Chain A
Amino acid sequence: MPQRIPASEITAAQIGAAEINAENIGKTFGAFRALNDLSLDIRRGEFLTLLGPSGSGKTTFLMILAGFIAPSEGRLMMNGKDITHVPAEDRSYGMVFQGYALFPHLTVEQNIAFPLKVRRRNSSDIKRRVGAMIERVGLVGHEKKLPAKLSGGQQQRVALARALVFEPSVLLLDEPFSALDKNLRALMQEEVKRLHQETGTTFVFVTHDQSEALALSSRVAIFNHGELLQIGGPQDVYERPASRFVAEFLGEINLLPLKGVIRNGSGATGRFEDRAIILDRATQKIGDEAVAAIRPEHMHLTETPPPADCNAITCCVEGATYLGALTKYHLKTKTGTPIAVSIPTAAASPLNSRTDVWVSWPTREGFLLPAGE
């Protein structure tokens, strides 16, 4: 039974959704440190994504949340109660595994009914809930099939239905879409988003696909080498990354080493090659040298000097890549720093290689990162 809280405090959809606090979680496998002093609050009813490269400890953290493995240090609180040593079968969170982990010997219907049977619900109740769930995930007509007879997307739906049918207070999803093709992936992302809104359950979603993380989540937690680097809304982490790793992991970014950096107010100025660069935002503590980071889609290309309120540098065109909706230009500055600029294909004009152009961006775009690695 998920713990209930006074209804006045939360919205109807979130009744039963859990709040989890991970406090200083560490996990060591033999001599290998998989998670290190990880503290993270998962809010009631939120859609939190754990994002990070392979081996960064996402699955390990999810397994600790689910209760399948015990942390070496730290504790886990749910709705204010210590659940560190509560076994998985008593936590009873919904879980969608990578590769779905459906019961191969049970039909779609029986798979979805399994968690209800475990809870000894009466058969008419089971029938009703399973039927409703099958309808909700769009599997009507496939009730009697075995998982092996279903397509990847359909198996995915069964896994979701099975994980949600008993109204768990938390749903954990470990890279659920990594085996699907691009279209199906987009479709399933929509579906998961809708299920999150409809159920109001707390979702914790693992992926190493940054665009998926940005598209789905209310907050994104970025992992690397077993550490939590940053957590925040998609826009926060994308536009105000706290470190170079986060900045680069969330998408392509241009890095311009600056010299003679001076803070002024909330912004900063510095020198790149022979030009002054102004940034309106500079939240980081930085020294005399720093790196200006600007996303390719925030930059413009012109053949004449841009307006004065923009930063501008001269570059030489090296080539272009057609990406459908966008065209990406590859350029080099005078000292050889590579620059990428993405422009909507509809607005792109053909530029020959070896021509000199102006790359510019408004001073409100971009941010400062500490120099060096």
Chain B
Amino acid sequence: MIAKSSGKLLLLAPLLLFLGLAYVVPFLGIVRWSFTLPEPGIGQYRAVFSDPLVQSVFLRTLRICLVVTAASLLAAYAIAYVWVRGTRLQRMLAEFCILVPFWISVLTRAFGWLALLSNRGLINTWLEAAGITSEPLALARNELGVIIGMTHFLIPFAVFPIASAMRSIDERVLLAARGMGASRSRIFWTVFVPLTSGGLIGAALIVFVFALGFFVTPAILGGGRSVMVAELVYLRIFQSPDWGLGAAISVILVLFIGVLLAMMRRFIKPAHLVG
């Protein structure tokens, strides 16, 4: 038993070593900065919790992440449903929609959305040309743009755990419900959805945790007006050299994500995440 598990540990060793060198050591450095720059103490943490600007960024981040999570789950559920239970053609189409975004970089996608959503972007040009609007709708360079871009990026990550949960439903259970006279909508809401709840929770946590650390999409689609936590850290470190505060914000973010991941481990099976 012991020999066996130590053997497995040996196989994992290179990965652990890499993770340690690439993440844990630098993170410890950041923790040190947060307590030492510009002077030793917990002053930076106090600043995080008293600075109204930092607080408003935290609140905005939370709000955007919640909306993005909800929107991604909704869209992912529909896509996963078609992917798992659709006709052959529908399945292929869904698969295409899920995989294509993976081949295009975050940056390209953010600029793509900008081209669609900005004041002189495709959508506003069309709307005005069609006489539906007289002045451009504010679709980008604000929270709405950020939410659209992030949701689009995160949907595929939500699709996998949800589709995996849908696939593991025993077809006969659904047949049984039908045989008892249940309508399609009742079967969907009282049997199908509850049986995918594990996948939904997993998807929600993945999307939420990913969303918390988003940098590129908000920076481009938010137009500097919808700064999220990751961008704030960047600004604190690279523009107003205030390394201690940036480090303290990072540490808080990492701790928060750690708590979320611990929750994820409690609620769902890892199998639901990989799909």
Contact = CB atoms under 8 A, between A and B. Distances in A.
Interface of A: 66-68, 88-95, 97-99, 101-105, 114-115, 118-119, 162, 166
Given A104-B195, A118-B186, A88 B178 contact: yes
B173 interface: yes
B181 A101 contact: no
B51 interface: no
A105 B179 contact: no
B252 interface: no
Given A101-B175, A102-B173, 17 more contacts: A66-B179, A88-B175, A88-B178, A89-B182, A89-B183, A90-B181, A92-B181, A101-B170, A101-B172, A103-B177, A103-B191, A104-B173, A105-B194, A115-B180, A118-B182, A119-B181, A166-B181
Interface in B196-219: 197
A254 to B, nearest CB: 41
A93 B186 contact: no
Contacts of B176: 95, 97, 101-103
Contacts of A92: 179-181
9 contacts: A68-B179, A91-B179, A95-B175, A99-B170, A102-B173, A105-B197, A118-B181, A118-B183, A166-B181
Q: Give 5 nearest A-B pairs by CB, closest first.
A: A101-B172, A115-B180, A101-B176, A92-B181, A95-B179
Contacts of A99: 170, 172
A91 B181 CA distance: 8
Contacts of B179: 66-68, 88-89, 91-95
Nearest to B172: A101
B168 to A, nearest CB: 10
Interface residues of B, number: 18
A120 B197 CA distance: 25
Interface of B: 170, 172-173, 175-183, 186, 190-191, 194-195, 197
B178 to A, nearest CB: 5
A103 B180 contact: no
Nearest to A96: B176
A20 to B, nearest CB: 15
Contact of B175 (A68, A102, A105, A119): A68
A166 B175 CA distance: 17
A115 B176 CA distance: 10
B178 A114 contact: no
A102 B186 CA distance: 16
A367 B183 CA distance: 53
A166 B177 CA distance: 13
B178 A97 contact: no
Contacts of B173: 101-104
A281 B154 CA distance: 78
A78 B96 CA distance: 47
B59 to A, nearest CB: 35
Contacts of A94: 179
A120 to B, nearest CB: 10
Nearest to A165: B180
Nearest to B197: A105
A109 B173 CA distance: 16
Nearest to B183: A89
B28 to A, nearest CB: 43
A125 to B, nearest CB: 16
A182 to B, nearest CB: 25
Contacts of A105: 191, 194-195, 197
B195 A68 contact: no
A92 B179 CA distance: 5
Contacts of A68: 175, 178-179
A118 B181 CA distance: 7
Contacts of A89: 178-183
Contacts of A97: 172, 175-176
B271 to A, nearest CB: 16
B155 to A, nearest CB: 26
Nearest to B181: A92
A89 B185 CA distance: 12
Given A101-B170, A105-B194, A105-B195, A115 B175 contact: no
A228 B170 CA distance: 30
A3 to B, nearest CB: 16
A17 to B, nearest CB: 18
A162 B197 CA distance: 24
Contacts of A102: 173, 176
A55 B179 CA distance: 23
A67 B181 CA distance: 11
A264 B173 CA distance: 58
Nearest to B171: A101
Contacts of B170: 99, 101
A99 to B, nearest CB: 6
A211 to B, nearest CB: 26
B172 A166 contact: no
B154 to A, nearest CB: 27
A197 to B, nearest CB: 23
A94 B176 CA distance: 9
A150 to B, nearest CB: 15
A166 B195 contact: no
A162 B180 CA distance: 9
